[in-house]
Structure 1
Amino acid sequence: MVDPAADALSLPEDWPAHPDQSLSLNRMGSFDWDLDAGLMHMDEVALDVFQLDPDEYDGRPSSLSRRVPPSEAVRLDGMVTQALKSGRSHYGAYFRIRTRDGSLRWTHTQGFIRRDASGRPHRIIGIVRDATQELAEATARLEVDVERRRLTSVVESTTAALAHARTVQDVIDVLKDSHGLEHLGATSVVMGLLEAGRIHLVADGPDGSFVPGTRYTRVEEPYPMSEVIRTLAPRFIESPEDFAASYPLLWPHITDLGITAAAYLPLIAQARPIGAIGLLYSDKSGFTADDRNILVALGSSIAQSIQRAILFEQEHDLAEGLQQAMLPRRIPDVPGAHIAVRYRSGRLGRDIGGDWYDIIPLPGGRVGAVIGDVQGHDTHAAAVMGQLRIVLRAYAAEGHTPATAMARASVFLQELDTDRFATCTYMEVDLASGVVQVVRAGHVDPLLREADGNCRRVPVQGGLPLGLSAEFGALDYPVTVLELDPGQTLVLYTDGLVEQPGADLDEGMQWLTARVRGGPQDLQALADDLCDVVDERGGDDDVAILLLRRRGGYTPQAGGRLQQHVAQSDPEALRSARHMIRAAVRAWGWREQSDEIELAADELITNALLHTDGGAVVTLRMLTGPERRLRVEVEDRSSVLPRRRETGEDGINGRGLLLVDRLAEAWGVESRGSGKCVWCEFVLPERTAAAPGRAAGAARTPQTAGTAGTPDTPQARRTAAAGG
């Protein structure tokens, strides 16, 4: 406490100041409003706040209406009325008044409400004051806060956009195309990346602003980008004079651009410079502390995005090279077929995966078509894919049936000791006959497009994916036989074409069927159309596409061959083999002989299945020579030779080889390592002549290996009987 007596000599006479003086000096007037009488007393300062002379005020609140706009009066009356009714003791409000010159000025009022013993308000005592300066300062602070939030928002939005940039060009596009630079006030952006001690200019500002000789510059040269890379510190150029004095080599080339300021920022990632970025301004002078902090934060975000993009592009180049090495370098020309293939990588992640296609030329006018998908989207998947493609091609080229080739590929994948499995569809197409043998290992069904454009899904029997079938001992892949007419197109693809997150596979199949149906007739254009759709949909899975169309008028070559495995307890496989033989013979133009050829082949297959252990392999082969011959071979793993027997008592058993003997031109047996091959041959007439019928009792000569064409003599018959 201050002792007034002790300090009396040092205190002014009017100390402490009267409250009226305190209010007056701070331009705060007072009022006393008697609600019962409807009168409001206002002191001189209060009247001055309202810019009223004493003779202009009659003591009634209505006299203030000339200074208070109607909208403000309604709002103020409503606020006071609410305070009176709610029982509150205080209220306060900001409102505008109209000055003598007609302008509006902010005013503040605050009142204390007095109530009687019953709580009824009867008097308000308060103050009014000029609030112009107060609100101006508050508005300035608010504008600063708003500007700071705006700049922060620009950095955040630009950073969010950069998060989706995958390449350096994507980063440049984000900076140029987004509204970030516009909000920052920059006119344009320049960017250089550090490459082997030189700065490569990758973005050169506004159109027509490129300075010759600056595409590649050394770090030692006197340019702003070189300086910030050397010093690892930002450089803020606050005026044209500063620019001209600091960089005399560069400034004359950009004088006409109207640049008034610039900010050059080093791009630093993992504690080392990777480049620099420059923001050029046309209507800015100087940078505040907030400007500098915001731009430095923006530079850090851009540096991280650039580093990520550089690493992605390096990985992309490696992945693209690996993918190209794994896929076939070229698709061979296949007589009798039009073929189109495409590969599209996933739009997200690495541009590499396990999808593949292959075309395998086979002897006798046949061709193998493969489509497959190894689990995963990385270099491991691509490596496994490349190995699978090679071994499947090798097995097919060795002459194995589609089912055997697929089974061996499954065993190979399991023995790789990898955690990957693969789905695959392998088709062996005889382009002369149109017979197609299909084996499917967990893959999606193919589509068949008719010559008139109609398209449908082709259900194909399937087995487990490669690798899994070997692991679970399910290597007996079923074979489905199709007939491909001239003009028809097989559509093979991987599941990335039809699968979408959250969508049903059947919906994707229906969509693809409709797309192929309405697609171009030209095969290459159709393949491009499907790839365009993949790009539009932007899925994250790889897509491989193989289209194969059979051409009309293709003549079968001598030595043509069809082959199929028939399991011992698989009636469907036996039915498929019959279908293959009948379709091939008819397609080759000998429809009238198809029934007896099919019957003879069926007897040989049935004998192998009944009297040996394991399945059989049936082969249909066109032989070369002076006359056209068709040879049917049935191989099994038994070394016991077949023999012709007399018909049993039931009249059924023992007729197999008798039928073959009567129907075929010749038949015989060959040893094949651990098993044997029973074969029969048919002489086929010229297709221009009517196919002659066979006499019911005409004799046929059975022959062993190497006796084709032996005359029908008793000695020949005894020789054959001794072997069978």
Structure 2
Amino acid sequence: MSGPRSHPWWQEQPAGSGLRQALVAARVGSWEWDIRTGEMVWDTDGLRLLGIPEDYERRIESWVALIHPEDMPRVMAATQEALHGHGVYDAEYRVCRPDGTTGWVQSRAHLALNGHGEPVRMIGRVWDTTESRIARESVGQALRFMSDAFWAVNREWRITFLNVEAERLVGPSVDVLGGPLWGGPAGLVPELETRCRHAALDGTPTGFDIQWPTDSRWYHIRLVPVPDGLTAYLTDVTDTRSRAARREAAERSAAEQAARIRGLTGALAEAVTTHDVVEVAAAHMLSPFGASGLLIQVLEGERLHVVGAVGYPQAFLRKIDGIAAAEGHPLLHDVIASRHPRFIASATEYVELAPALADYPDLAEKNAWAILPLITSGEPNGVCVVSFAEPRRFTADERTLLTALSGMVAHALARARLYDAEHARAQALQRGLLPQELPTPSALTAAVRYLPASTGTEVGGDWYDIIPLSAERVVLVIGDVMGHGLAEAATMGRLRTAVHTLAHLELPPEEVLAHLNDIVSDLGDDSFATCLYAVYDPVSGVCSMARAGHPPPLLVRPDGTVECLDIEPDPPLGAAEPPFSTAELRLPGHGLLVLYTDGLVESATRDIDVGIAECSRVLTTDPGRRLAGPGRPPPVCGPDEDHRADRKRLDRICDTLLDAMVPAQQLTADDTAVLVARLHRTAPGNIAVWQLPDEPVAASLARDHVRGQLEEWHLDELITTTELLASELVGNVVRHARGPVHLRLLRGRSLICEVSDGSATTPRIRRAAEMDEGGRGLQLVAALSQRWGTRYTADGKCIWTEQPIPPQRS
């Protein structure tokens, strides 16, 4: 024999076969029973006759369960007789369908034997005999006392028969027999008369559900036309409908729960911070349950700390924040310790459970609570309390759903707290890496602003700096590490540190960017950064700039006009191939140099070119022109009231730019850094330059020039030390280098003495022995100077020294 079948054998016949057509036309069902496995397969008509769904369990037991208990012995006897006698199986019996209806069926089958003559399969047919059975027993005792109501009417619609159950519905037989069906309660049933007439006219059985007016119960009426009239079967389906209604309600409830869980799952997936999680939980757990408050507390050590709350008075939150879990709130502690939720229906029950907390319901203004443990990785880490303004009883579905939702909140909260901790560390790192206070060189007055992104909470890699150099020169640098996060903030710190080191080596801008490019390239193929590096010399007014993928700077001239400086761009750091290009621009004194990152001018809705044009327009507006216009230059020897006033004007320019370009209500995905610097020029009267011969007499001439100039500047206290410094430096050049030799004095916040020559050799301090006649010159220079150093120029090098100017001369 073959294996298990998914359908009876006759359905394997061709669609046009006579057997199959005949069975379909007669609405005869077929079945097949594998005696060895117990599998029993019915075709579509067979399933319809039995009233069972197509996804039924294909077992002999499924069929046995449908047999009416009174007919069971007879059916089983017929089955056993067929099996033992190898004969034909034939039985007529009632089936109790799952929908509550009962019907008569006739079933006949024959046995299939194996090679040993043993029955292995029973193959049969089944058809509905309800009508013929009733026709045969229309006045029989079985029909009289069956549980379903039954009546019969003749062609004149007069009642000819009622069973006991029908009498209860329609009236006693002695009162209604022979009378019209519509004369009694049946006349009150909507559409009953119409349906009965249609059934008799069509000659086709029909069925429908109605609510009977006398007992308000639901019945399924099956109308069956017969030669002499019409019969009606009324099956009480009230319980079936109730079960179906409860099942539908349960399905709706399950669907609603699933929808709530899906909604909360999706929202929590987008929640990043603890604050986000609290807001999402409140939105999905308060209104759907009619709750008025949500409180989330996390366990830190032995204490519970409030991380978020909605709908609670501040006084109550202050009272419970940081309380000891075990001693301060035993209800919460019990929930955490047991890891099981607790549902409290009233304030009275609350006080009974925790007498020491009798004032809590009034303080919290709540009268029912669902206290839910927050458990992640099997460990409790806090509680989520959903509270209600009025007393209430929690249904089983509500308890299940609230518990499920709290589990999702627990995992989202744990993730958010990890994120918050990382974000706090990243912010602290970024705050520590950015300049805490900008230097105030005499070459410029500057103001800066840094605005973090408003969407997302990862820190960015934008940075800026001002680095004073020798000869009153100053470095302005601004950059942006692409991306957000702790790694980007750390990269920014590395680059800023490298910039400081490289700047103090007096390297030109293109070499600084080349070294930074190496650093970024070593971080990996996905690491990139932009940078603009500028060196401003207030003596000449020349600004040397190089930019790697960074937006161009803007120059606001003293007359208020704005110019986007044309500096050839190079690719971003990490993607560039040195050498980088440097532009040297002569900038006007008292003009504004505006440096910024792309967050100021570029967004999802604004192209960078449009943003730069808009930024230029803001700077040329009346407020921009008034703020950017030239003020009195600060004195050369330190800040005073004019310098501080100019700083305030630059602060307002920064605020004006941010208000216009990045409004507070606008969501931004990138950080923004702005550096605005007013450029100052060193007054000609504070500069003195001499060319000296490349001969030993040059040292004497240098002393004479220094004495005369310092007397003119009224810096008599510095004459002796400056003479020694100039003499020693010039003497070193004459002995160890080559000309031309230049001496320059600069008066600013300090006195600068510079000696330049045409050699690229770097002087260095060496330790002289006690009997050496030379070798102590640079030691003397280091001892007499506040700072000193060497920088290379296009024609050689320059050795410089700085001495503080006495306060009374400032």
Taking structure 2 as the reference length, the TM-score comes to: 0.56
User: In 1, distance between residues paired with 2:345 and 2:338?
Assistant: 19
User: In 2, distance between residues paired with 1:674 and 1:336?
Assistant: 20
1:301 offset after TM fit, Å? 1.2
1:209 offset after TM fit, Å? 6.7
1:198 aligns with 2:303: yes
Report 1:235-274 matches (<5 A). 235-255=342-362, 259-274=366-381
User: In 2, distance between residues paired with 1:113 and 1:265?
Assistant: 63
Distance 1:294 1:411, change over 3 A: closer
Distance 1:464 1:88, change over 3 A: farther
Contact 1:436-1:484 within 8 A present in 2 as well: no
Q: Which has the larger radius of gyration?
A: 2
Aligned equivalent of 1:170:
276
1:140 aligns with 2:264: no
User: In 2, distance between residues paired with 1:215 and 1:109?
Assistant: 66
Aligned equivalent of 2:546:
439
1:481 aligns with 2:609: no
User: In 2, distance between residues paired with 1:110 and 1:485?
Assistant: 104
Aligned equivalent of 1:161:
267
The structure 1 residue matched to 2:292, chosen from 187, 190, 207, is 187
Contact 1:199-1:218 within 8 A present in 2 as well: yes
C-alpha offsets along residues 25-53 of structure 1, whole Å, 9 cap, x if unaligned? 44x3546696xx8x586966779758999
The structure 1 residue matched to 2:334, chosen from 206, 212, 227, is 227
**One-letter identity of the residue aligned with 2:656:** L
Deviates most, 54-63 or 352-361: 54-63
Distance 1:407 1:280, change over 3 A: closer
Report 1:368-387 matches (<5 A). 368-387=475-494
Distance 1:624 1:425, change over 3 A: closer
1:329 offset after TM fit, Å? 1.2
User: In 1, distance between residues paired with 2:325 and 2:255?
Assistant: 36
1:328 offset after TM fit, Å? 1.2
Size of the alignment, in residue pairs? 549
User: In 1, distance between residues paired with 2:794 and 2:680?
Assistant: 39
Report 1:533-682 matches (<5 A). 533=663, 536-539=666-669, 541=670, 543-550=671-678, 555=683, 558-559=686-687, 676-677=795-796
SS in 2 for 1:330: coil
**One-letter identity of the residue aligned with 1:399:** E
Aligned equivalent of 2:656:
526
Distance 1:678 1:229, change over 3 A: closer
The structure 1 residue matched to 2:143, chosen from 19, 25, 29, is 19
Aligned equivalent of 1:110:
222
User: In 2, distance between residues paired with 1:636 and 1:62?
Assistant: 131
1:123 offset after TM fit, Å? 8.0
Aligned equivalent of 2:113:
none
SS in 1 for 2:270: coil
The structure 2 residue matched to 1:92, chosen from 196, 200, 207, is 207
User: In 1, distance between residues paired with 2:179 and 2:395?
Assistant: 53
C-alpha offsets along residues 204-248 of structure 1, whole Å, 9 cap, x if unaligned? 663267177533222332521111222333223344443222211
For structure 2, which runs of at least 5 residues remain unmatched after alignment? 1-71, 78-137, 625-651, 690-741, 748-753, 762-789, 799-810
Report 1:208-357 matches (<5 A). 210=316, 213-221=319-327, 223-255=330-362, 259-335=366-442, 337-346=444-453, 351-357=458-464
User: In 1, distance between residues paired with 2:197 and 2:351?
Assistant: 63
**One-letter identity of the residue aligned with 1:18:** A
**One-letter identity of the residue aligned with 1:217:** I
User: In 1, distance between residues paired with 2:531 and 2:303?
Assistant: 49
SS in 2 for 1:264: strand
Distance 1:508 1:524, change over 3 A: closer
Contact 1:365-1:560 within 8 A present in 2 as well: no
SS in 2 for 1:229: helix
SS in 2 for 1:249: helix
User: In 2, distance between residues paired with 1:48 and 1:259?
Assistant: 54
SS in 2 for 1:405: helix
User: In 2, distance between residues paired with 1:147 and 1:269?
Assistant: 27
User: In 2, distance between residues paired with 1:73 and 1:465?
Assistant: 85
User: In 2, distance between residues paired with 1:523 and 1:534?
Assistant: 16
1:249 offset after TM fit, Å? 0.7
SS in 1 for 2:484: coil
Contact 1:637-1:675 within 8 A present in 2 as well: no
SS in 1 for 2:375: strand
1:161 offset after TM fit, Å? 2.5
**One-letter identity of the residue aligned with 1:93:** F
C-alpha offsets along residues 323-343 of structure 1, whole Å, 9 cap, x if unaligned? 112111122335575533233
Greater relative contact order (CA < 8 Å, ≥ 6 in sequence):
1
Deviates most, 251-260 or 148-157: 251-260
User: In 2, distance between residues paired with 1:560 and 1:368?
Assistant: 23
Distance 1:194 1:57, change over 3 A: farther
SS in 1 for 2:449: strand
SS in 2 for 1:243: helix
Contact 2:374-2:406 within 8 A present in 1 as well: yes
**One-letter identity of the residue aligned with 1:191:** I
Contact 1:373-1:423 within 8 A present in 2 as well: yes
SS in 2 for 1:171: helix
1:316 offset after TM fit, Å? 1.4
User: In 2, distance between residues paired with 1:517 and 1:21?
Assistant: 102
User: In 2, distance between residues paired with 1:252 and 1:223?
Assistant: 14
Identity, in percent, stands at 27
1:534 offset after TM fit, Å? 8.0
Distance 1:491 1:201, change over 3 A: closer
SS in 1 for 2:547: strand
User: In 2, distance between residues paired with 1:484 and 1:164?
Assistant: 51
Aligned equivalent of 2:529:
422
**One-letter identity of the residue aligned with 1:525:** D
For structure 1, which runs of at least 5 residues remain unmatched after alignment? 7-13, 116-121, 562-619, 626-630, 639-670, 680-724
Taking structure 1 as the reference length, the TM-score comes to: 0.61
User: In 1, distance between residues paired with 2:221 and 2:417?
Assistant: 63
The structure 2 residue matched to 1:150, chosen from 256, 276, 295, is 256
